[in-house]
Chains A and B, each alone.
Chain A
Amino acid sequence: MPNSKHNKPSDSSDTRASESQGPWAGSDDSYFLGAEAALPPGQYGQTIPSHLPDPVAQARVLRELQRRVRSTMSPAFPVETKRILPGAALLAGYRHFALRSRSLAVDEFGRDPSYGEVARPVLDFLYQDWLSVKLQGLENLPTDGGAILVCNHTGTLPYDATMLMHGIRTEHPLKLRVRPLLEDRLARQAFLGVALRKLGAVRACQENATRLLENGSLIAVFPEGRRALLKKRTSPEKLQRFGRGGFIRLALRTIAPLIPVAIVPKPVKWLPEGVANRVHAAARLALFPTPGPWTIQIGKPIDLSEQLAETEWEERVQVAQEAQRIRLHIAEMIQQILNSTT
């Protein structure tokens, strides 16, 4: 190979000469292409200017020709039907069948509208007949822009989240959608996690929540988490610790209002105390909720936007304080509902 100065691409005649050797140098094509017979550039005499069109355009035409020839030269797998398999007609029927209960487009977090339609009768039955949910305080929801609904937990499986989502969707005049945030244990669960995602639930993490709030969605968080299972039957108003206050940090960062929500199942009064405790313990593990009127109370929004802290440690203290304040607020709401029903 010539040295680098000799072979600068700006020098076109040299480029041409080196290319006549270069690409073919190691291959067997050189004999057939006559590269051996090529004379050095100076021995041809004067270079005749080419009357042919632009070499780039020529190459393009050649390449297109090449592609067309290729596509006709593979009779076993013509390009057009390469991926379509034998029995495609049968599979088309299957495809029609498979696409009946699923949408061709899901939203950006995987909510599947067709799946929601399929699940709707079940949710309606649960909402109206089995749990007969009373939903109060719908006017406290903002009609535009995001908000964080802070809810208490009522059981093992996320019937509370589903009922809140379904209730606001069906009873609110604007048919608002709430996206409940699921803790990891639920979101990664086989079958259940996928079903909840198709209904509209989202895995709980700061990135997902921020994205939802930026899109103006209502999100519902359950900061008690799994610890809610430790609650005693006799004291439903005693809430567990509210996580590490991630939802407060989220609210401070996105300036979204916090809306406290109390979800209160009817206390079982007609059973003896000991039996009721056992039923409660069993119901925590059961897949189906105990029947009875539920009350879902949506409280007045709490705005944190004016209270931004400056340093990290101040913010941590503030987050803990705010979490505690909202926790007590929701406990108070639960207590009021319990007092009014008895």
Chain B
Amino acid sequence: MSDAPKPYPTVVAVTGACTDLGVETLRQLSDDPRIERLIALDVAKPDVISDKVQFVRLDLSQPGAGMRIADVLDEYSPDTFVHGAFLSTPTHDGGWAHELEDVGTMHVLDACARNPPQRLVLLSTTLVYGAKPDQPTYLREDARLGEVTKSRFVNDRIRAEEQVLRFARSHPSIDVCSLRFAKVLGPNSDNIFTRFLSRPVAPTLAGYDPLMQCVHEDDAIRAILLAIRKSARGVFNIVGKDILPYTTLLALLGRLPLPLPLPIARAVGKAMWATKLSEVPSTMVEHLQYSCVADEGKARVELGFEAKYDIRQTLAEFLGMPIDRPAPAGRPTAQSATWMN
């Protein structure tokens, strides 16, 4: 691809427009005077007040979704396509989730191949790396993605990501960018992590204390906007500043840890998932056992993204507490997190 700067995005299509990230992206983009039109693709109308937003009903889990997207691309010819139609929480209906995430991504990519936009942004997650004991502490973007596990929730994301990476290789003229977000927390987010951390009691694995990383929802939105405006290419980890051990995180949130031995945790998790008492499948237990921490170096250097919130501020915002002061410039100390006192 030539080094000439791409024209500024004017028409942006967003799938998953009703997701937390999608709707906030639409809101922010609708404030941008240079953006002429926003196409919101989802099963429901997103909660955005703007005359730029054009809602098109689209169910990616339906077989005809590919044709529908192709029609939309023909009609509006957006120069930027943001694909974020992914589930924020696991569902028991694995077949439907597979149609939506894996096959839905296929529909999107097929339509994009026929009528290529200039940019394609995938909203992915660092869960695709998996939490394994043989990983380096900081995972770079070129790390091996998690093996196909029993977790359908993560599997479909991995498959979607692999399809997009393959698409990027075969379409070098399109700026394909994949943003892998750490756990998105914040006052307005609603996903598997916020639900998990909203309970008064949180299970831990006895003897294990993985390092946890999260990203504030505002930082996540800023990263999406940066990727759209800068025509970023490649994969980027979008993570917040700092890491904390899981038990410290629970202590900061005031949640009671419930230490369980590993086999019991697996059995209980399986039983609770099977009886639909828990929203988290037992295959996510590995994330309570080993760390899955991503390196933010590439996003900082190539994308120019720097997180504004560190993990303690993110947790405070998640709880709805005011942040008393901004993070100090240097390495954080215990004194920098005084909000709990």
- Contact in complex: B57, A26 (CB < 8 Å): yes
Q: Which of A167-175, A187-195, A224-232 contacts B (4 or more CB under 8 A)?
A: A187-195
Q: Is A55 an interface residue (CB 8 A)?
A: yes
B-contacting residues, A182-225, CB 8 Å: 184, 187-188, 190-191, 194, 198, 202-203, 205-208, 211
B residues less than 8 Å from A15 (CB atoms):
37
- Contact in complex: B200, A105 (CB < 8 Å): no
| CB < 8 Å neighbour of A211 from B77, B138, B244 | B138
- Contact in complex: B10, A9 (CB < 8 Å): yes
- Contact in complex: B49, A207 (CB < 8 Å): no
- Contact in complex: B245, A207 (CB < 8 Å): no
With A95-B340, A190-B206 already in contact, the answer to whether A88 and B54 are too (CB < 8 A) is no
- Contact in complex: B51, A59 (CB < 8 Å): yes
- Contact in complex: B245, A80 (CB < 8 Å): no
B residues less than 8 Å from A3 (CB atoms):
75
| CB < 8 Å neighbour of A102 from B75, B138, B247 | B247
Q: How many residues of B contact A (CB 8 A)?
A: 64
B residues less than 8 Å from A59 (CB atoms):
30-31, 49-51
Q: Is A313 an interface residue (CB 8 A)?
A: no
A residues less than 8 Å from B301 (CB atoms):
none
B residues less than 8 Å from A104 (CB atoms):
248, 252, 312, 334, 336-337, 340
Q: How far is the CA of A260 from the CA of B187 in the complex (A)?
A: 52
The DSSP consensus for interface residues of chain B is loop
Q: Which of A108-116, A143-151, A292-300 contacts B (4 or more CB under 8 A)?
A: A108-116
A-contacting residues, B236-286, CB 8 Å: 242-245, 247-248, 250-252, 254-256, 262
Q: Which of B117-125, B154-162, B164-172, B207-215 contacts A (4 or more CB under 8 A)?
A: B207-215
B residues less than 8 Å from A184 (CB atoms):
133-134
Q: Which of A60-68, A121-129, A266-274, A333-341 contacts B (4 or more CB under 8 A)?
A: A60-68
Q: How far is the CA of A62 from the CA of B30 in the complex (A)?
A: 13
A residues less than 8 Å from B256 (CB atoms):
91, 94
A residues less than 8 Å from B140 (CB atoms):
207
Q: How far is the CA of A27 from the CA of B44 in the complex (A)?
A: 10
Q: Is B33 an interface residue (CB 8 A)?
A: yes
Chain A interface size range: 35 or more
A residues less than 8 Å from B243 (CB atoms):
106, 108, 110
Q: Is A4 an interface residue (CB 8 A)?
A: yes
- Encode contact with A along B14-44: 1 for CB under 8 Å, 0 otherwise: 0000000000000100110100110000000
Binding site for B on A (CB under 8 A): 1, 3-4, 7, 9-10, 15-16, 19, 22-23, 26-27, 55-56, 59-60, 62-63, 66, 79-85, 87-88, 91-92, 94-95, 98-99, 102-110, 112-113, 184, 187-188, 190-191, 194, 198, 202-203, 205-208, 211
Binding site for A on B (CB under 8 A): 10-11, 27, 30-31, 33, 36-37, 45, 47-51, 53-55, 57, 74-77, 133-134, 136-138, 140, 187, 194, 198, 200, 205-209, 211, 242-245, 247-248, 250-252, 254-256, 262, 290-291, 312, 318-320, 331-334, 336-337, 340
| Nearest 3 interchain pairs by C-beta | A190-B207, A207-B136, A98-B251
| Given A22-B55, A85-B200, A110-B243; 18 other pairs, CB 8 A cutoff | A4-B75, A9-B10, A9-B76, A22-B54, A23-B54, A56-B30, A59-B51, A66-B47, A79-B187, A83-B194, A87-B200, A99-B251, A104-B340, A105-B333, A203-B136, A205-B136, A208-B137, A211-B137
